[in-house]
A = this chain, B = another copy of it.
Amino acid sequence: MYSKELLKGTLKTIILKLLSENGRMYGYQITQKVKEITEGKINLTEGALYPALHKLEADGLLMTEKEVVGNRVRKYYKLTQTGNSKATEMVDELKQFIETLKAIMNVAPQNLSWSV
- Among the listed B41, B97, B103, B111, which residue makes an inter-chain contact with A2, where contact means beta carbons less than 8 Å apart? B97
For A38, the chain B residues whose CB sits under 8 A away are 100, 103-104
Asked if B93 and A2 sit within 8 Å, CB to CB, the answer is: yes
The oligomer's copy count stands at 2
Q: Is the CB of B21 within 8 A of A109?
A: yes
**Cα of A41 to Cα of B109 in the assembled complex, Å:** 22
- A90 to chain B: closest CB distance in Å? 8
Give the residues in chain B near A10, CB-CB below 8 Å.
Answer: 6, 101
CB pair B111–A101 under 8 Å, yes or no, is no
* Pairs of residues from A and B, 7 with the lowest C-beta to C-beta distance, nearest first: A8-B8, A5-B9, A8-B9, A6-B9, A6-B97, A38-B100, A2-B97
